[in-house]
Structure formats: C-alpha cells, structure tokens
Structure 1
C-alpha cells in the first residue's frame, strides 16, 4: 500500500474535495523570465508565445537589443521566432485564437495575425481611426475575438478573427479608466454580441453594441474580474480584499471569501468550474466554496485556464492544477475500502502470489463491474504511464471474473491513452487531459499536429484511430513543395507520389494546385496527370494553362459539362482560328460547340465551318437565318428585311454551287432568291404584303386574281411553268373572281392542253350551272360528260351521255346520284332495259 499512500499524499483537500497539481514538464527553454515578458499561452496544451515586455524597464544581459517574438510548445521547445520591429507602436496585448492563430494588437489599433510558424496571415487590420488617434490602452481576448479600450474611453471589438471586421460599442459616458474589464462571450449573451463588464467606481457597467446597462452592485469598487467558462458566474476581487462569486445576472452573491491581502492579485482566473485562482508575487491561492488552499512559489507564474482545471506555467515547469477525479479518489484515498480500491489491492496481492487477492475479489463480487469501470476511468485520468498500466491491469484482472462487463472498454481506453501519451511527449508538447482530448476531438488534434509539422505522428494516429489520412498527407505534400524549391521537379514528383499513393482517393489536383501557386507549373502538370477524377483534373489543367490536355481529358471522360467548361475557357482565351484547330479533331467537342453556336452564335459557327471547308453547312446556316428573318414582325410589314433575306439566300446558292453533291440545294436556293425578289417587287407595286413566302403557283394565282396578267405571265416565263399547270392556275383564278367572260375567252384562245374538264369543275364549284353548260358539250369522254351533267342535276343529258359510253357501272352510279328523284331514276331504268344491260 506504500504506492497508494504516496499518490494521495500529494493531494490537497479543499472542503470535501481533493485537488492535485502534478508536474507535466520541466521547461526546456533557456533564459526565459516570465516577469520580463509578455506571454500568451493557448489552452488545450497549446503553444506559448513570448516577447520582451517593452512597458517594463529591464536589464539586458547577453541578449540582443532587438526584440524577438518566439513561440514554444508546452514543454518549452522553440517552434519559431520573429524579430519584432514595433510595426504599430507598443504591443498592448496578444493571444491565441481557437484555431491557434496568434493575434497581436499594437498601440495604434493595428491587429496582426500569425500562424504557429510566425508567418503573417493576411495584411494588418485596423481597429479604426479612433484607435489610431487615441491609442489603445488595454484589450481583453476571448476564443476568437477581442475588445479594446482607447484613451478616449471608447470600446471597440472584433467579434470573430476569421472575419475581422471592427465595430464600436455603445458610448459608456465614463470620464476615467475603469478599474478592470471582463467580457461575456457572444455565444452566452441574449443578443448574440459580446457584452463587456466595466468596473467603474461602485458600479458595474454592461456595455453592448446597442446600449449600456448600469448595475448597482453594492460591493464597493471591484479591482479584478473573471467570467467563468460557461459565463454563468463572475469572480470579483473587491477593494477591501474580498473575493465574490456572483451569477452574471448579478442577482445575488453566491458566496464570498476574505483574502489576507487587500492588494489586488496580478492574475485572477477560474480553475475548472468550482474553484478560483488568485496569484500574487509569491503565492497562488485556490478558493473553493468554504475553504482555500495556498501554494507558494519563488518564481513568476502564468495561469492558463482549462476546461477541467488550470495549467500553471513558471520559468522552470508546467503543472496542471485540477480536481482529483472521483474514480481516482475511490482507489487512492488513504484508508479507502471502495470496491475499486480493493480490486487495485487485489492485483498487488496477486502479483505477490498472496491468497488475499482471492479474498478481496470475494468481498467485491457484487460490485465488480463498478470497480473495473473505476479502474479504467482512473487510468484515463492519469498522466503517469506506469500508473496507467497498473490501473488498466487492475481493470483487466477484475474483468476476467466479470462476465457482464463490456469487453472492449479496456481496449478503447488503451487506444485513447496511447494517443495521449504520444502527444504528451516533450518533443510534441501537447499535454492534454482525457477531458480536454474529448472536448477538442481527435480531428482537431490531428490538425494541430500537422500545423506544428508532426506529420508522421499525425499519420500514425489517423491510421490507428481509423480516420481519414488524406488531410495529413495533403498538408505534408503542400509543405514539402513549399520547402523544396531546390529539388528538381522530377525528383520531387517521385518523393510526393510515394507518399500520396498511401491514401486512396487523395486529391492530386489539390496538391498540383498548390504547386502551381508556388510557381512550379511543370510539377503541377505532372501531378495532375495522376488525378483519376476528371472533375478535379480538368479545372486545374485549365488554371495552369494546359488547355490542350484539359480538352483531351474532358472529351475522354465523356462528361459534357466538363467539355463545355473547357470550350468556354478556351473560347475566351485563344484566337478564333486557334480555337477551331483545337476542337476540329475531337468529335465530341466539335459537336457540342456546333450545337451551342447553332443556337446562340451563328456568326462564330459560320467562321468555324468556313475554316473547316464545310461550305454546305455555312449555306444551311444562311438559309436558317433567312427563315428567322422571315419570322420577324418587321418582315410581315412588307419591305425592310426582304433585301437582306434575298442576299442571304443568294450567298447560300453560291456556297452550294461550290460542291457537286449539293446541286439540288444550289438550284433551289437560286430559284428561291429569284422568287423572293419578284414577290418583293409585286408587294412594292401592289402595296399589298401578300406575295412573299408564297409558292410559285400561289403567286401566279394571286396575280391573276388581282388582274395583273402581265406579272403572272412573267412568273410563268421566269420559272418555266408548264402550259398545263398555267391553264389549271388561270382557270381556277378566273373562277375565283367570277370573271366568266375572261374564262370563256381564255378557253377559246386555243385548244386547252388540260382539256375542258377543269373549266367545268371551276364553274360547278362556283355553282354556276349555266357557265358549266358552255364547256360540258366540249368534253370528249362521254363518262366525264355524264358525270358533269349529273353534278348540275341534268338527269336526261347524263343518261344520254352514259348510254354513249355503254358503261353499266356508270349507269348504276348515276342512278344512285338521282335516288331521291323518282322520275330521274326511271329514266336510267328505261335506258338500262333498252340497252339490255344486266341489272346493276
């Protein structure tokens, strides 16, 4: 039990709770005196930024007069440094954001941001002209924001450094500097904006962007304030040496503690959620609900609040002050008879081959699962690897006798501890507790490891935890490209591919983009060749100027969206003839371009066809344009657009005539242009927009209807209209206007080549029986004559004509025509009997 006593002997009791303060690291830095420096330490075992405090008069030893901003890990190993040249006057404050960006604010209100390698992130941001005119005096940081107060007592804030837009808070109206200042983070306020607490005289002001609220807390002037991590409570140190704990709504004083000194502490911070730390020159005071504990130091300290306690940084060491977990108390508390303590004791007896091991197990048989869980949980809470092993062995020993316990619980804890022990190594210097690890999450931890260039460890942890390794390898590859300017492209490509192939599905395109950004275009082109996804490969090839390769990859993929992306890109970048040459040999690209240009860019498509010698395709485009002009409302009014249409069609005719395969199209275009020209002239002459786009037949017919026989003859002659067609058109046109005299005169000019049947039909259709009778006797075919007489209702004459034809079928059909007329039907019956035709 000696080991048990030694563990608990280091604890301090505060009321009914135990606290411990194990040392995490002996600091490995040299000649760093915290009292002479400004220090910014990041939570979650993060880095520490140190710079000589220019507000203090200090003696320079062997060091340079130039001030250096240095970054260390939690173990004191230097990560980077930068010569600080006071770019904006005195440095007022600095802090780490949640993303571990170092923010520095100078006297003139300039905000400078650096990564962990002290490389500048973007350009400096100004807090505004008021801060430049009236210097910044003090600033208070929180996770991703800051509030500053200037010499004119104005408050300015940046709510989020990821989008650093300064804004001014409401005017406080104060005439002197506040005694102290604290902030309530935006996520804990009703308005969603930061609230600033100012101690002014006996009052506390709550200042927000849209107003100021005054609280009459009758506690006297407050010298120091600190808001708890969840913003539920405020710790305040008063002028008379009392520490007050109040809800942030100031509804009551939860409790107070009288300190031995009325001198305000140099630092006031929360230690977890249940205690408050106050630091004076040589003493650290931890105050709980009903008690306090004092720790004495002979060197300066920096308190770094954590979610489960506080880290304490001194010149020589890094410690963590935290409440002892309940599982650890149940095992190691002096005189403990808890099942977990008996199980831990049983393992020691088992190792000593003592029968008391079995006796202990029998005593806790019913509580064995709880004892095993307590040992596993306590192992996770330990920083000592040897102690972790003992506790896990105790849990494993008890699990062997406990069938109801979750079998993989020890394996899970072992996995977590292996990760924690790896990152706690002083070379890495990220000393996380298990609560901090769970709150931070493994993915964020991986990100912090690669930011500090521990890629191998990050890769192994990712693989061990079954996480995606792409983030690690990608970051390593990009960093390798940046840092390897002297290595030839081919050599560097081999180095990169060896590692990139470890991760399936990794984006070679993203690495190639980084290479291009660093001016290594040849390397980028070689890398992108290994990218299997065309959707990532093609855009990058375009961005690095490899248009030919991009077009080839896009067409090979068959993705029309990608092909269009490349086409439009090249279209804008290259001269037209060069663009045509690139797409001519690739059918998919050529067809997609043609489809698009056919709808939206006719002129460009014509140029493409001309450059390819596709004259017939240009001609078809010209014909299409002419038809689109015909659809224009302007064309329907008769004049302006017919000229351009005719020219387009004539151009099409000329292009068709260049190829032997399109003689028909050439002739058709020629005649179409000729017809349009004649029709246009007719419309101009007659002042009637009724000719254009009608057929030759319709044009002739319309001319005759309008009485313009000369124009009709001209159209007949120009287009070599046959006599038969001419007669048909003129007969029906004259019948349309009921010019029977002209029709009769036309029939007598010469023997009509179409016969007299069209004359009869024209008169019959116009219901002019008398006119029809002028031409029926001239019909040569008795059958036509019989049918013509029948159509105008002359039964006897129809019967006589039918008898001449000696056609029984005709007689039967004509009889049906006169079925309603009994007298007419009898004529056909008599005629049938006379001629001895068989019955129909």
Structure 2
C-alpha cells in the first residue's frame, strides 16, 4: 500500500494520505493501538498530542506504516511476502512445464511437460532442459534426448545434482550447467519391466513406485550403481490400487535410521519400510495430499471432505483441523516453517495456522511452492517471492504504534538525522533497555532483504552503541559481515536468495562450493578472503574450468594465465590442476604445470600418468623416498621393454640399488638379464650359484642323473662366467670344486642308496664314508680334493671313535707317526667314554702338560700329579688340584708335590 506524508497542520492534526480504498486502509491498520479516524475517503488523522506523548516523528511513523502495511495477520502472528526478484526469463509458462527447484535458493530446472497439449508450431518440437538461477537468469540448456520413455519426475539433490527419472527406471544426472553426468543409473530390473509411475524425493534419496505397486528406495544416489546396486526394495504392502497419495519420513527422523514411506489407502495410512508394513492413522482418511514438516515431527494432510489436518508423524495426536471451502484437493501442499501450512489451488494460495482465520493470496499465473527451513519461496511466471513469518525483532520495531525500546531507538535515529532534541529524549526513556534495543535492531537487520532497510536498522544499532558501553561489538560486526555476504549472493546475476537462517544452516563453506560450481569464481574468491576461508579450493576449480573452456588457447599463453592466479595461494595443488589438463588432452600443459608442484608424492604419479617416466624417476630419486622410487620402478617395469628399463635405471644409483634388492628376493631371471645387459657377468654367476642352493631346498630338484642334475648345470654355468673375469679366479675354482663334490656325492648316494651326502661338506663326506665303512670312497674324496694329512687324520680318528672301532683306531695310530700327534686319539676315546682305550695313547703324549690333563680327565690323580711335576708348572698343579677338590686323597697328593717343588 502506498503511503505519502503531507506536512500540513490542520485542526491540530497531521494528515497522511492513503492512496487506497477505505476497507483496505482499515485492514492494513487492524490491530494497531493507535486510534485511527477516517477523514473522507483517502485521509487518516493522527493526533499530534498522541505522537508527542510517545516521541514518534512523522517520518518514522510513516516508515512503520509502510513496512507493516506489507504484513498479513494470521491469528497473533504476522507474515510477509516480499518480492525478491522480478524473473529475468522470457516466455516461461510454469503451467506447461515440469519444474524442479532446489532448496536454499538453488537453481530452477524447467522442461516442457510432454503430458500437456502444446499448440502446433507454438514452439520448437525439440524438448530442452533449461536451468535458471532463482532470478530467472539462464545458466545453461541442453536438448532432452534421453530414451527410456516419459520423464516421471525430477528433483535436485543436496549437492545440486539434477536427478531425472524416466519410465523404465533409468536415472539421468545433470550438473548445474546441464551437462550429463556419466554413467546413467538404474532402479533395477523390476522397474524396467514394470514402469515407474510415481516418485517422492528427499535430500539425496528417492522412493519410487512401479506399475505393480511395488516400492523401491534409493537412500543415496552416490552409492547407486548402473545395474541397480544400492536400490532397497521396501516391504510389499500388497495393494490392488494405487495409493491416494505418498509421503516420506527421512531416515534422520526415524527410530530405525531407514526411510519410512506413508501411503494413504482407504481411510487409513500404511507405514512401509524395509522390514514390514504397519497400519496407522485409522479413520483419518481418505487422505488426498500429505506432506511432512521439515523436522519430521508433523504431517499436514488434506482429506477427501476438504479438511486440513495437522497430525504428529506417529499419528498419535491431531494438532489442529481446518475445514476448507473446497473438497477439491489442492495442487500443492507445503509447510511454511513450522507455524502454518500452505494450500494452493488454481488462483488462490491459502495459508492456514493453528488459530484464527486463514490468509488468502490471489494469483493469476500458476505458482510453484518451494519449502525452506524458515518459510516458502513462491515462484510464478514473473516473480520470486518469499513468504515467511515476520521475526519478533522486526515486529517490535515496525508494528504500528509499537513503543518497545527497539522502536524508540529506531525513532531516535530519525530524530537525530533531523537534528531534533527528541533523539535524546527517546534515548533517556530506554536507557535501561538500550542493550535489548540494540540487539533487536541488529537481529531485525539480518532478516531484511531490502538493503536500505538493513542499513537503517544497523545505523540505529550503531547509534545506540554510542550510548551503551556494555554491548558486545562482535555481534554487530558479525551481522555486518553476514549481510555483506548475503547481499552479494542475492544479486540477480548470482541469484541465490538466502535468508540469514538458511545461510546459517547451509554454512559459508557450502555456499562457497555452490558459487564455485556455478562458475562464480571471482565472487567465491572474494568471499573466501573476506570470511577467512581457504581460497585453494576456489582457485583450483577456476584453473580446471579455465583449462576446459580455453581449448583454443596456446599452452604457453594459458600457462602464464594459470600460474599468475595459482601463485596467489600458497600450497596450491599444482598436481591436480595438471591432472585435469592431462584429462583434457593437453599433455604439454600438464607437464609444464607439474614442474611447479613442490610435493614429490603428488608430482611423481602425475608425471607417470602423462608418460614422463624419465622425469618421474628423476624426481622420485631426488626425493629420497624409497617407496616413491619403488612406485615408479614398478610402473616403468610394466610399461617399458626390458632394455629400455635397464637403461633408465642404470644411471640412477638409488633406483638401481632398489631394483637389485627387490629382484634378488623375487625375480632372479629379470635381474640376470639386467646384469647381462650391464656386462656384470660375475653378478650373474653369483645369482646362478645362489639358485643352485635354492634348488637344494626343493626335494624335486635332486632328481636326475648324478652328472647332469639341474644344480650341477647351474654351478657349471657360474664357473664359466667367473672364468671370464680375471678378478674372479677364486670363485671360478670354488664353483668347479663345488660341482665336482656334488657329482661325487650323487655317486655315493647312488652306491650306498642313502640320501645323506648331497650338500654336506668335504669333511662331512669323508667322515660319513668312514662311518659307513667305505674307506676307499673316503680316500678317493681325500685324493680328489687334496685333503691334507692332518685334516685326514683328524677326520678318521673321530669317525672310527664314532663307530667305536677301537682296533681299527689302534691300527691306524700305528701305521706311521700321526702328523697330528696322539692328543686327538686321546680326546676321541675320552669323548666316547672309553678311558681304557685312552690309556693306550696317553703315555705317547710328548708334552707332560697334555699327559697331566689327559690323566686328570679320566680321574687318575697320581698319574696326573706325576706328569705335572715333570712339567714343573705350579699353575697347572693348582688347576688340577681344583679339579680333584672333592677327593681328599688326590688333593693331598697335589699338596705333597707342590711342597716338594717348593711352590706355595
């Protein structure tokens, strides 16, 4: 309603001209505490005396009147419906299109409804999917070419992906730029065989009904597969006819944590989930429309006889009931916050609350209701409006005749601007309540969409702060910051009309992400900087988008532009940008970008993906990260020919050493090829020799002829390779003797039919031959391998003692003077526990010390003492005495000898 002020003072009164009819004037001022007198048809007289007594100025009163005139009273609560945008689109008729509007001021998807009749030649035969922002500015469009039958339903997910479900159960996904996201998804075979007929969306999920009245749930589109994996079939309610209406209670509001589907059937409701079907709400129906509140606690229902019911979602209590004038079900039913319910028919929008008369709004064009957490956005062909409950802080300031501290503070600012002393008078009146008034002004500013009104309210709060020292400054500053953000994104070019409550629920981080996805990178970057958020995500997305959109630009020019922006953010992930460039087919640009990536673990994989293996290996070895080097090695190993691979790692010591270490454990053949290519024959020989030992651990490897077994062949190859280098003469000779020994051991095993020779040493082979009585074979081994006489005697003495052939041992000792002396004979006999046999050899010991110790070992104290006395060794005497400490007689003998020798 238009209100103009006339400053003519007549009959001690102030005249306000109201350019409206009388009945509208009365309705606008209904409930005001100011007594109004209609003067003629267009005037309202307000007592000057009254205005003086409460301290109002004319301009502030007029402002309050103009603001409050926009409100509608529903019982004791005010509602307002400001126009947010005049739609920028042209020739869009919502009545002939399917429309999907995203919440939180999101985009609008429009496609011609193929079930509606279209005038011939009125428009193109091609159906187009068009996407607009909330102000009607077109973002993108694409031709609808998807097969699979009629489009059943479409909706936006929480991450602003457009979901389109067609009759055969195929789900097509589009981003905000109308680009098809591959792959397409499916609801499964049952929906393909029996077409989808109805869908109910929520958040990022949907419940679909097919022609067989079976219900299928997609809890999250992100987890859905192309073959229907991730689709949950709900319990079968066994319906003969389609339900009258459907509604969904989201999983986050259910006790089970799973989605619950409400089906209106007859005069009751069926609650369906994965586990079963339950009948609830008997007698409330039949219900023709149902919608669940935003918090999942309440259900608004429209019955067959024209009643609106609001029931708790568990059907335990009817909150209120209202009888509508028509039994025809509304086209749309929606919650306006949690305080009222909206019902829309062809030309009227009815807002019903729990008390009082409903409010009616009339529309000539079709509208779409978009429920938000704090109200409803109303989309028509020409406007976008926001219907919400007027906040308490706004009511306290702008309600006509309000004398609250906030209203007086707001009026005080007006007096101050006009240099009136009334400003000081108002402040004195509310001195005790000034913090409350300041808070109300700040709070009211946050709920306003009109920028000039925001500014005035904040100025009023700032004015009050000048006279109040105990008010937190952070609240004011935070509100200013929030409003700057909201005003920026509300501009028609951006078209995100968030309220302050929606902004708080959405969060600044998500808002930035949505701006990025809509390619509003500059605004997203400025907001990130303003709010102190990380700018990396914005710059990264801008860089990737720039690469995609600049296919015709030369790599050098594009690289300069990218680096100029990427350097603005420290720690930027150049590798991800380079990866996107590679996927876009710009490999040279990717290679140039990845050079600026400081983190090797990000740089190396990308270099490999773009085919820069040499550079990747260099970067990995420079980093010193062995895991990263192995990663590159395995990648190149699989892709490159062997010789090329060997050439790449040969000049890089770390990579070469790691490759050798790995191959020694797991791949000898490949390592042999590497050493051969490098001319390192001795390394190949060592590998062959090691393999021969590995053969020995396998029982199957010992099969074959003694002269041509696999192990012997490997050792002979090693011998030949060692022989080609002068530095490996010893190894060549050792390999030759090893092969010779294996042959002899094979022969011995064949002749003795005992598998006890192979892999034993020469000494063990000789000892085993003697133990077995095969002295000729033992002698052959001795001769073949030039075993020394001393070693031969040692081996034979202990071998004969092992088999306790004492006669052969005595005979062997008499063949000639043993080169090892008789001490080994003595030790062999003593170790075998034959003291008598040891006595045959102890007297032959030339060294008296050895004789003394030998006698002591067999317990002959006197003989040991005599031998020790011949040696005249006091230390030996003392040691022998200790060994006989348990024998008093023996101890006495040693004491006597020590005294005789004069040793104390």
Q: Alignment partner for residue 125 of structure 2, among 65, 89, 107?
A: 65
Q: Alignment partner for residue 655 of structure 1, among 708, 716, 721?
A: 721
* C-alpha separation in 2, matches of 1:323 and 1:451: 31
* C-alpha separation in 2, matches of 1:594 and 1:624: 15
More displaced stretch, 739-748 vs 85-94: 739-748
Asked if 2 retains the 8 angstrom alpha-carbon contact of 1:477 and 1:496, the reply is yes
Would the alpha carbon gap of residues 59 and 787 (structure 1) be closer, same or farther in structure 2, given more than 3 Å must change? closer
Q: Give the aligned CA root-mean-square deviation in angstroms.
A: 3.5
- 2:611 paired with 1:545: yes
In structure 2, the residue matched to 1:669 is 735
1:548-563 equivalence runs, <5 A? 548-563=614-629
* C-alpha separation in 1, matches of 2:86 and 2:837: 130
Asked if 1 retains the 8 angstrom alpha-carbon contact of 2:71 and 2:80, the reply is yes
In structure 2, the residue matched to 1:93 is 153
Would the alpha carbon gap of residues 695 and 355 (structure 1) be closer, same or farther in structure 2, given more than 3 Å must change? same
Would the alpha carbon gap of residues 349 and 631 (structure 1) be closer, same or farther in structure 2, given more than 3 Å must change? same
What is the CA deviation profile of residues 746-777 of structure 1, one whole-angstrom value per residue up to 9, with x for unaligned ones? 45555555566666776777787887787788
Would the alpha carbon gap of residues 207 and 119 (structure 1) be closer, same or farther in structure 2, given more than 3 Å must change? same
What is the CA deviation profile of residues 15-60 of structure 1, one whole-angstrom value per residue up to 9, with x for unaligned ones? 1111111110111111112222222221211111122222222335
Q: Alignment partner for residue 304 of structure 1, among 363, 370, 380?
A: 370
Asked if 2 retains the 8 angstrom alpha-carbon contact of 1:811 and 1:828, the reply is no
Would the alpha carbon gap of residues 795 and 586 (structure 1) be closer, same or farther in structure 2, given more than 3 Å must change? closer
More displaced stretch, 82-91 vs 768-777: 768-777
Asked if 2 retains the 8 angstrom alpha-carbon contact of 1:638 and 1:683, the reply is no
In structure 2, the residue matched to 1:114 is 174
- 2:335 paired with 1:270: yes
In structure 2, the residue matched to 1:499 is 565
In structure 2, the residue matched to 1:174 is 239
2:180 match: secondary structure: coil
Would the alpha carbon gap of residues 166 and 725 (structure 1) be closer, same or farther in structure 2, given more than 3 Å must change? closer
More displaced stretch, 258-267 vs 681-690: 681-690
1:793-812 equivalence runs, <5 A? 809=873
Residue 166 of structure 1: how far off its partner (Å): 3.8
- 2:168 paired with 1:102: no
* C-alpha separation in 2, matches of 1:822 and 1:627: 56
Would the alpha carbon gap of residues 358 and 618 (structure 1) be closer, same or farther in structure 2, given more than 3 Å must change? same
Would the alpha carbon gap of residues 654 and 251 (structure 1) be closer, same or farther in structure 2, given more than 3 Å must change? same
Residue 802 of structure 1: how far off its partner (Å): 9.8
Q: Alignment partner for residue 271 of structure 2, among 206, 217, 226?
A: 206
Residue 130 of structure 1: how far off its partner (Å): 4.6
Residue 718 of structure 1: how far off its partner (Å): 1.4
Q: Normalising by the residue count of structure 2, what TM-score does the alignment of the two structures yield? A: 0.84
Q: Normalising by the residue count of structure 1, what TM-score does the alignment of the two structures yield? A: 0.90
Asked if 1 retains the 8 angstrom alpha-carbon contact of 2:868 and 2:876, the reply is no
Would the alpha carbon gap of residues 401 and 693 (structure 1) be closer, same or farther in structure 2, given more than 3 Å must change? same
Would the alpha carbon gap of residues 374 and 761 (structure 1) be closer, same or farther in structure 2, given more than 3 Å must change? closer
What is the CA deviation profile of residues 239-277 of structure 1, one whole-angstrom value per residue up to 9, with x for unaligned ones? 332222111222232211222223222222111111111
What is the CA deviation profile of residues 147-200 of structure 1, one whole-angstrom value per residue up to 9, with x for unaligned ones? 333444343333322233444433333333333332222322333333333333
* C-alpha separation in 1, matches of 2:795 and 2:442: 109
- 2:467 paired with 1:392: no
Residue 399 of structure 1: how far off its partner (Å): 1.2
In structure 1, the residue matched to 2:39 is none
Asked if 2 retains the 8 angstrom alpha-carbon contact of 1:637 and 1:689, the reply is no
Residue 484 of structure 1: how far off its partner (Å): 1.6
In structure 1, the residue matched to 2:70 is 10
Would the alpha carbon gap of residues 203 and 775 (structure 1) be closer, same or farther in structure 2, given more than 3 Å must change? closer
- 2:642 paired with 1:582: no
- 2:513 paired with 1:447: yes
* C-alpha separation in 2, matches of 1:811 and 1:208: 98
Residue 642 of structure 1: how far off its partner (Å): 10
What is the CA deviation profile of residues 273-323 of structure 1, one whole-angstrom value per residue up to 9, with x for unaligned ones? 111111222211111111211112222211111111111111111111111
* C-alpha separation in 2, matches of 1:30 and 1:815: 119
Asked if 2 retains the 8 angstrom alpha-carbon contact of 1:525 and 1:541, the reply is yes
2:440 match: secondary structure: helix
* C-alpha separation in 2, matches of 1:377 and 1:408: 13
Q: Which runs of 5+ in 1 are unaligned?
A: none
* C-alpha separation in 2, matches of 1:551 and 1:270: 62
- 2:288 paired with 1:189: no
Would the alpha carbon gap of residues 784 and 500 (structure 1) be closer, same or farther in structure 2, given more than 3 Å must change? closer
In structure 2, the residue matched to 1:570 is 636
In structure 2, the residue matched to 1:377 is 443
Would the alpha carbon gap of residues 309 and 733 (structure 1) be closer, same or farther in structure 2, given more than 3 Å must change? closer
Residue 426 of structure 1: how far off its partner (Å): 0.5
In structure 1, the residue matched to 2:401 is 335
1:178 match: secondary structure: coil
Residue 414 of structure 1: how far off its partner (Å): 0.7
* C-alpha separation in 1, matches of 2:890 and 2:449: 125
* C-alpha separation in 1, matches of 2:533 and 2:168: 45
Would the alpha carbon gap of residues 347 and 800 (structure 1) be closer, same or farther in structure 2, given more than 3 Å must change? closer
* C-alpha separation in 1, matches of 2:245 and 2:891: 128
Residue 418 of structure 1: how far off its partner (Å): 0.6
1:66 match: secondary structure: coil
* C-alpha separation in 1, matches of 2:875 and 2:99: 126
- 2:277 paired with 1:232: no
Asked if 2 retains the 8 angstrom alpha-carbon contact of 1:235 and 1:246, the reply is yes
1:578 match: secondary structure: helix
* C-alpha separation in 1, matches of 2:301 and 2:866: 134
Residue 383 of structure 1: how far off its partner (Å): 0.5
- 2:92 paired with 1:32: yes
What is the CA deviation profile of residues 777-827 of structure 1, one whole-angstrom value per residue up to 9, with x for unaligned ones? 877788888998999999999999999x8x755999599789946998899
More displaced stretch, 570-579 vs 296-305: 570-579
Would the alpha carbon gap of residues 185 and 698 (structure 1) be closer, same or farther in structure 2, given more than 3 Å must change? closer
2:199 match: secondary structure: strand
Q: Alignment partner for residue 345 of structure 2, among 280, 285, 288?
A: 280
Would the alpha carbon gap of residues 649 and 366 (structure 1) be closer, same or farther in structure 2, given more than 3 Å must change? same
1:443 match: secondary structure: helix
Residue 95 of structure 1: how far off its partner (Å): 1.7
What is the CA deviation profile of residues 578-618 of structure 1, one whole-angstrom value per residue up to 9, with x for unaligned ones? 22222222111122222222222233223322322223333
* C-alpha separation in 2, matches of 1:815 and 1:368: 108
* C-alpha separation in 2, matches of 1:552 and 1:300: 66
2:689 match: secondary structure: helix
Asked if 2 retains the 8 angstrom alpha-carbon contact of 1:634 and 1:641, the reply is no
Residue 357 of structure 1: how far off its partner (Å): 1.3
Q: Alignment partner for residue 157 of structure 1, among 188, 213, 217?
A: 217
Q: Alignment partner for residue 432 of structure 1, among 474, 491, 498?
A: 498
* C-alpha separation in 1, matches of 2:814 and 2:476: 121
- 2:484 paired with 1:418: yes
* C-alpha separation in 2, matches of 1:838 and 1:613: 74
